[in-house]
Structure 1
Amino acid sequence: MIPFVDLKTQYLSIKDEIDTAVLKVLASTQFILGDEVKALETEFAAYCNADYGIAVNTGTSALHLALLAAGIGAGDEVITVPFTFVATTAAICYTGATPVFVDVDPVSYTIDVTQIEKAITERTKAILPVHLYGQPADMEPILDIARRHGLVVIEDAAQAHGAEYKGQRVGSIGDIGCFSFYPGKNLGAYGEGGMAVTNNPEYAHTMGMLRDWGQERRYHHVLKGYNYRMDGIQGAILRVKLRYIEDWTEARRTHAAQYDQLLVESGVGIPAVMPYSSRHVYHVYAVRTSQREWLQQQINEQGIQTGIHYPIPVHLQTAYSDLGYQCGDFPHSELVAKEVLSLPMYAELTSAQVSKVAQTLHNILQGVAA
């Protein structure tokens, strides 16, 4: 069996360091926020080339607080994409604002920058691009549009730790960048976790208060806040893992290059790397085929786990039917959702495993007996 992701192997490779870090927190009794979380904020912000980091309990919370810090609220509109994990849309709705969708580019699967301006109204307050699968959205035209219209840019970088756009680390390109540390992410906690990064001290201060019940200091509640604090144990674990993220990222990129080479004549579409993308970090390696369901079943039967990210775009999800969108409104998002199939991708994959996945897929599509 080749798993889709293998968290146990990664843990075993750094077990002594992780165990020591966790025991240190237990001995300190700093279970919520504390020194380890504060150090993680400094270190991860520096990794992103940002001035400030605000650690929270989930990536969704990071998005929610980023929007609130930017002044987004009831009656406002935020432009984003329907082809993303539902948290992107949910965070906008949590503020009372309305998500306004534009379609994705059919090659990058990130926001189609040519569609943004026509979606702007007098109620638009922000643009929320998603760096999907670890590939940056095309930030330069997004920032240009935002400057001309006085809009805030909040990056959903939940899948893009260490990704680069024209040499700049994502998360520090817009006004605020938001990351998830869900266990399967390129930098994953052993539980839930998230982080917002920014170069704006006012945004940082506001998000810092909002994540801790709106307190400026203990029991002095300046804002109506939330309990979005990061656990001390997760902070300690993430600090250990942050030391390895560059090695793990390069391993992912090596695996992706091997997949690219082996699958080029297989009959599936392989991920494109856009000209502006200095560094795709391959949180997901998604191939594309019109035979997705059949192919997934066949390859799973050969002992290879796969995933689908994501089978239903947000505008067609029952929970968001109140937004008023219909099937056919975003044709590229809808077609991509029907055709993408995620292959195993994690740093601990071996070259032999990548070869087996690619050869199995090729044989299935070519009708070759195993």
Structure 2
Amino acid sequence: MIKFHDLQKINAQYQDEFQQKMKFVLDKGWFILGDEVKQFETDFAKYTNSKYCIGVGNGLDALVLIFKAYIELGLMQKGDEVIVQANTYVASILAVLQADLVPVLVEPKLETYTINPDLIQEKITSKTKAILLVHLYGQLCEMDKINKIAKEHNLLVVEDAAQSHGAVSEVRSQKSEVRNAQAYSFYPGKNLGALGDAGAITTNDDKLAKVLYSLRNYGSEKKYHNEYIGVNSRLDEVQAAFLNVKLPYLNDDNNKRRIIAKRYVTEIKNDKIILPFWDLSNNHVFHLFVIRTKNRADLIKYLLKNDIETVIHYPIPIHKQKAFKSWNNMFFPITEKIHDEVLSIPISPILTDVEVSKVIQTLNQY
């Protein structure tokens, strides 16, 4: 069986280093906001070309805290609108709602699955204060166009980078640009995955960073002195230690994913299968390789019969979820088409050439 994502095999590569790090943390006896967190924050800030990295509990908290920090700074207020693509994962929407803001859904591009910049303008109102960009499946949104719109309308740009660790903008020849703030998830299955929940925020904004450091720690910069109504969302010292082991390997892993993706886009040839758009640049780190097909259930059954695991990201669009009853009558045809047809095939960096060839051959014979 070719597993969709074999976490045991991925993490087995680092077992000795993990054990050494674990012993180091245990022997030191400092378990909250210690040296491992500081080291990761320093290294990940450098990796993302950011001035600051604030380690938090998970990717959802990262997004929520960014919005709450902007509210504390007076740049947003409760009830403001945030534009976000309709085909995102639920966490993007939950973050907006948990900050007492209003999500405004926009269709994505069918080719890239990321937000369509040409549709943003018509959704902007006097209450719009931010655009939440989701670099879905590992591909960067069209940052130039979106930043131009944001500048024209004085909007904040927040990036949900939970799936795009290490994606590079060829236009600027640097890591995914931090215009205001980026939220990262290090959920175990991510390109840079911890061994539990973990997240981080990156930014170049001094004032924002100062508020975020406090908000994640009960609203306190100095112990027992609370400046804000904060939360307990701190990157765990043990998870930071594991991330410190894996971060140096991230670029190599991303390159392995791109090598597999290049084989897929050039060698899969089947009229029943629609391949994702990719310009072969480093603006995509292929957290997922997502194909589309009209008869998804049949393809899944066929692939399983041939010992290939797949996953649907995601089967039900946000506006059709029971939790969002007031949106159930909304109509987003492109989003609904995507959710009805997408299927993720294996693209883990530990896949062998033989396994990749089998996936290609099997899909071509479908």
TM-score by length of 1: 0.94
Give the % identical residues.
Answer: 41
The whole-number CA distance in structure 1 between the counterparts of 2:223 and 2:177 is 30
1:80 pairs with 2:84: yes
Contact 1:313 1:333 in 2 (8 A): yes
Alpha-carbon deviation of 1:274?
A: 4.7
1:95 pairs with 2:99: yes
Could you tell me which residue of structure 1 aligns to residue 3 of structure 2?
3
TM-score by length of 2: 0.95
1:66 pairs with 2:66: yes
Q: What are the superposed Cα offsets for residues 125-174 of structure 1, whole Å, 9 maximum, x if unpaired?
A: 10001101110000111111111111100001100000022245455332
Alpha-carbon deviation of 1:301?
A: 2.3
Give the match's secondary structure for 2:221. strand
The whole-number CA distance in structure 2 between the counterparts of 1:158 and 1:73 is 25
**Which residue of 289, 292, 304 maps to 1:288?**
292
Q: Structure 2: state its 5+ residue gaps.
A: none
1:361 pairs with 2:363: yes
Give the match's secondary structure for 2:183. strand
Could you tell me which residue of structure 2 aligns to residue 179 of structure 1?
184
Letter in 1 for 2:300: Q
Contact 1:78 1:126 in 2 (8 A): yes
**Which residue of 287, 293, 317 maps to 1:313?**
317
The whole-number CA distance in structure 2 between the counterparts of 1:287 and 1:215 is 46
Letter in 2 for 1:161: H
Contact 2:293 2:342 in 1 (8 A): yes
**Which residue of 321, 326, 331 maps to 2:329?**
326
Specify whether residues 354 and 346 from structure 1 end up closer, same or farther in structure 2 by C-alpha distance, changes over 3 A only.
same
The whole-number CA distance in structure 2 between the counterparts of 1:223 and 1:78 is 23
The whole-number CA distance in structure 2 between the counterparts of 1:312 and 1:42 is 38
The whole-number CA distance in structure 2 between the counterparts of 1:123 and 1:279 is 31
Contact 2:183 2:201 in 1 (8 A): yes
Give the match's secondary structure for 2:16. helix
The whole-number CA distance in structure 2 between the counterparts of 1:41 and 1:172 is 17
1:116 pairs with 2:149: no
Give the match's secondary structure for 2:110. coil
Could you tell me which residue of structure 1 aligns to residue 134 of structure 2?
130
Letter in 2 for 1:232: E
Contact 2:135 2:161 in 1 (8 A): yes
Specify whether residues 169 and 296 from structure 1 end up closer, same or farther in structure 2 by C-alpha distance, changes over 3 A only.
farther
Could you tell me which residue of structure 1 aligns to residue 260 of structure 2?
255
Could you tell me which residue of structure 1 aligns to residue 304 of structure 2?
300
Could you tell me which residue of structure 2 aligns to residue 206 of structure 1?
211
Specify whether residues 109 and 42 from structure 1 end up closer, same or farther in structure 2 by C-alpha distance, changes over 3 A only.
same
The whole-number CA distance in structure 2 between the counterparts of 1:226 and 1:135 is 31
Alpha-carbon deviation of 1:203?
A: 0.8
Could you tell me which residue of structure 1 aligns to residue 146 of structure 2?
142
Contact 1:167 1:278 in 2 (8 A): no
The whole-number CA distance in structure 1 between the counterparts of 2:269 and 2:164 is 24
Contact 1:164 1:279 in 2 (8 A): yes
What RMSD in Å do the two structures reach over aligned CA positions? 1.4
Could you tell me which residue of structure 1 aligns to residue 48 of structure 2?
48
Alpha-carbon deviation of 1:266?
A: 5.6
Alpha-carbon deviation of 1:325?
A: 5.2
Contact 1:266 1:362 in 2 (8 A): no
The whole-number CA distance in structure 1 between the counterparts of 2:110 and 2:23 is 47
Alpha-carbon deviation of 1:30?
A: 1.8
Could you tell me which residue of structure 2 aligns to residue 342 of structure 1?
344
The whole-number CA distance in structure 2 between the counterparts of 1:201 and 1:137 is 25
Within a 5 Å distance, the mapping from 1:231-270 to structure 2 comes to: 231-265=236-270, 267-270=272-275
**Which residue of 151, 155, 174 maps to 2:155?**
151
Contact 2:21 2:241 in 1 (8 A): yes
Alpha-carbon deviation of 1:124?
A: 0.7
The whole-number CA distance in structure 2 between the counterparts of 1:132 and 1:270 is 15
The whole-number CA distance in structure 1 between the counterparts of 2:241 and 2:205 is 26
The whole-number CA distance in structure 2 between the counterparts of 1:169 and 1:350 is 30
Give the match's secondary structure for 2:103. strand
Contact 2:270 2:363 in 1 (8 A): no
Give the match's secondary structure for 2:200. strand
The whole-number CA distance in structure 2 between the counterparts of 1:268 and 1:167 is 33
Specify whether residues 158 and 268 from structure 1 end up closer, same or farther in structure 2 by C-alpha distance, changes over 3 A only.
same
Q: Structure 1: state its 5+ residue gaps.
A: 366-370
The whole-number CA distance in structure 2 between the counterparts of 1:70 and 1:297 is 47
Contact 2:25 2:31 in 1 (8 A): yes
